[in-house]
Amino acid sequence: MELAGKRVLVVGMARSGVAASELLSKMGAIVKVSDNRPMDQLKKEIRTLEGLGVALETGAHCLDSFLAASLIVVSPGVPLRIPELQEAQRAGIEIISELELAFRFLKGKIIAITGTNGKTTTTALVGEIMKTTILPVLVGGNIGTPLSSLVGSSTPETFSVVEVSSFQLEAAPSFRPDVAVILNVTPDHIDRHGDFRGYVETKLNILRNQLASDMAVLNLEDPILSGLNQSVRAKTFWFSNRREVEDGTGFDGEQLVFKKRGNREVIVPGRSVLLRGSHNLENVAAAVTASRLAGVSATGINGAISRFKGVEHRLEWVAEIEGVSFYNDSKATNVDATIKALLAFDSGLVLILGGRDKGGDYTVLRPLVRQRVKTILLLGEASGKIQSQLEGIVPMHRVKSMQEAVNIGFKLADRGETVLLAPACASFDMFLDYEDRGQAFKGAVNSLRVVNAMGVNEI
């Protein structure tokens, strides 16, 4: 892809947009960045971009900027349906995602991981497993480091382990991973993709360009994925947390077992998996399959799994105060993720729900709430909708801040019980992102711990 002297517009000035601008500038493109947020919200990003000598457009998108470009690179947070992008598309201007841009220059092999839930945990684990080899390994994508930032470090021998979101897959016409992993597909981002079918089709883009020489790793227990075998060109391998599988990784009730062409290998006992919840056994099985297909030995995989304690903001233990445990699952940004979080505990939960609604159906939480939750604390814009859909099961209280949620949760929980943040919603109503929300929760817990240690009765 020749970029020297080419006019390129980058839409969105978040991490991916900045990384794309850096890559484009190095390739000799004439870069302009457009973001509809005001300049005072973009001070850090602007400092970085000004150092590159790119043109900046803030406060609103200008249609002329879009129509003057010969290529447009879209950040994940920018919907393709905004009017300026639609006009550019009608004008025949090529529009690609930051993922697609990076892919066109990235060297080496790619293990790409997507799914509604578990992407970050699985990507991080595959990265740790791959690092047990002598191969050069890069980890990035939706997990925090944009793929464009990895291009300069990649070599023909590199393995890039990449977390991929549906937003990134929307405009990735040639993206082709050597190993593609889909963990699960359940309703999410309906506000972005229009309906569940649109969301599913976008997720499946990760498989579209694969060839028979590539490999697809799919969840045998997912009703959508288990029916894809005939439509996938790549060699298909499966994973399951319930049973052994013919090709891939399964669980025989005691240990994870990898099979390929009739060969059976015991990889790791289930008790060695440190991550909480049966869904994490599924994530580990997926990671085993991808890593084994990439050539990592069973011994290397076993050691990495036995050491891996998970990622921040995903069922993360924060503290125990007077016998009450606090867990941070801020990354549970949809209903299905909250279901998985609830399944990791038996009972006695004070559950913090709420945030910005993504079109989810909260009524499906009712059976688990009835079984495992004693009280719900509602925070954020979706509080009213959640309350109306879960009314009458357990007591619910609305709170105005994360500190209030933590304080009240502590008062309502008995010794041996748990305060769990698993919001089932996006974070953008009150926080910058799920990480900011998780840090707010942990900060509130730490404040509570300090106050409690001082013996103050009123919190």
Residue with the two structure tokens 């953008």:
428
Distance CA 209, CA 200 (A): 16
Residue 187 φ/ψ region, left for φ over 0, alpha for ψ in the -120 to 50 degree band, beta for the rest: beta
Chain-centroid distance of CA 363 in Å reads 24
CA–CA dist 18, 48 (Å, integer):
8
Does residue 256 contact residue 270 with C-beta atoms inside 8 Å? yes
61, 189, 259, 358: the catalytic one is 189
Of 48, 53, 63, 45, nearest in space to 29 by CA: 53
Length of the chain: 459
In one-letter notation, the amino acid at residue 246 is E
Tell me how far apart the alpha carbons of residues 68 and 66 are, in angstroms, rounded to a whole number: 5
Describe the crossing of helices 119-130 and 298-307 by its angle, rounded to 10 degrees: 130
The helix or strand, by DSSP H or E, that contains position 50, with its residue range, turns out to be helix 43-52
Quick check: is 44 catalytic?
no
Contact of 175 with 99, CB cutoff 8 Å: yes
Token pair belonging to 82: 């905004």
Rg (CA), the chain: 23
SS3 label, residue 143:
coil
209 has catalytic annotation: no
CB-CB contact of 23 with 105 (8 Å): yes
- Of 142, 184, 241, 328, which is the active-site residue? 142
At 452, is the secondary structure helix, strand, or coil?
helix
Whether 119 is catalytic:
yes
Question: What three-state secondary structure class fits 353?
Answer: strand
To which residue do tokens 């302009």 refer?
A: 32
Which amino acid type is present at position 160? S
Among 119, 259, 279, 358, which one carries the catalytic annotation? Answer: 119
Instruction: Please tell me the distance from the alpha carbon of residue 20 to that of residue 178, in angstroms, as a whole number.
Output: 23
Q: Which of 118, 65, 71, 61 is nearest to 93 (CA)?
A: 71
Active-site residues, by number, are 119, 142, 189
